[in-house]
Amino acid sequence: MIIVMASRAKDDIARVVAKIKELGYQAHLIEGVERTVIGAVGDERTKATLLEAMESMHGVESVMPILKPYKLASREMKPEYTVIKVNGVQIGGGAFCVMAGPCSVESREQIIESAHVVKSGGGQMLRGGAYKPRTSPYSFQGMEEEGLKLLKEAREATGLPVVTEVMTPEQVKIVESYADMLQVGARNMQNFGLLKAVGKARKPVFLKRGMMSTISELLMSAEYIMSEGNREVILCERGIRTFETETRNTCDIAAVPVLKKLTHLPVFLDPSHATGHWDLVEPIARAAVAAGADGLMIEVHPRPVEALSDGGQSLKPERFKNLMDNLKPLVELMGKRI
């Protein structure tokens, strides 16, 4: 439920917030330029009681129910797009951000070299997996904390903020201590214990859509994170599973404008996982820009043939540089800056 305040008086706002909490709801303040809006989230079965209580309170201009099952993530709750800043890098709000790097941290030499490739190519953030969820238990699982230390070293060498995946609630604190952004991968999109844990974290969360998940389910997963207090969530389309076998997944390019319509959260696309082939990355990246995405996550490796994971979808350094050069005029045509 959305409570629009007619008065910006702190006493009125405090009384409304106190009443919301007294009725067993969570209160979420959104300070706008012209007015203050309070979101009340809780048990839908008692919303009639809340509605009646709010309408009679001093300082309340109007009360409106939120129709979507996801409340905090909806554009009903917040009409303005969310802008997130990560160590000087802006996400959303007219900025176009590219996060790039290898699938896995494999060695000090590899991740430092990759970071310099991303930096020189025009990328704004470094991605790399220290903990890797793999389909086969015999595949490379990542360097774990040693990989996190190398990512930190790469950040210090280049100034690029780091995003890396966290797989369990127990890993959140240690990953948070090294990374600038926490990634929840596609396989963990509905790991509700993990979603709650990253919701309590103090770092932004990059949430990937599950390969068998609907857009509504993705937004409900974002709601889990936001309901725990973390409002800095970035959504990522990375391909869904269909009957098609020519690509690793099927890129749901329509998810980008649909999400931009339904939510205020930034929306990214991962053309590497969406296609599984390096030569398809640029065409899908261009499509994502045209569809209105706020950014991309791209796999880049200095020597893809030597990669321990996902080499076939990783761009070589010169191809990444060409991609960034080719994207710039299209990004500007869409009214954004890169």
In angstroms, the CA 288 to CA 244 distance is 20
Confidence check: pLDDT of 163 > 60: yes
Q: At residue 237, does pLDDT exceed 90?
A: yes
Mean pLDDT value across residues 110-125: 97
Look up the pTM and report it: 0.89
| C-alpha distance from residue 52 to each of 30, 84, 88, 143 (Å) | 22, 35, 44, 55
Q: For the chain, list the domains and their CATH numbers.
A: 2-64 (3.30.70.1140), 84-333 (3.20.20.70)
Contact 264, 79 (CB under 8 A): yes
For residue 139, pLDDT beyond 70: no
Judge whether 59 and 300 are in contact, CB under 8 Å.
no
Confidence of residue 179 (pLDDT cuts 50, 70, 90): very high
Residues 6+ apart with CB under 8 A from 121: 100, 300, 317, 320, 321, 323, 324
Instruction: Pick 68 or 167 by higher pLDDT.
Output: 167
pLDDT tens for residues 10-64?
A: 888 899 999 999 888 888 888 776 778 888 888 777 778 888 888 889 889 888 8
pLDDT for 136: 67
Closest residue by Cα to residue 268 from 291, 240, 293: 293
Task: Answer whether residue 135 shows pLDDT above 80.
Answer: no
Mean pLDDT over the full length of the chain = 93
Helix (H) or strand (E) holding 27: strand 26-31
Per-residue pLDDT for 141 more than 80? no
For residues 185-212, give the mean pLDDT. 97
According to DSSP, the β-strands at 233-237 and 205-208 are: parallel
**List of residues 6+ apart from 48 with CB closer than 8 A:** none
Band (pLDDT 50/70/90 cuts) for residue 131 is confident
Q: Give residue-wise pLDDT tens across range 310-325.
A: 899 999 999 999 999 9
Report the length, in residues, of the chain. Answer: 338
51 residue type, one letter? L
Percent of the chain with pLDDT over 70: 96
β 267-269/233-237 pair status:
parallel
Q: What pLDDT does 261 receive?
A: 97
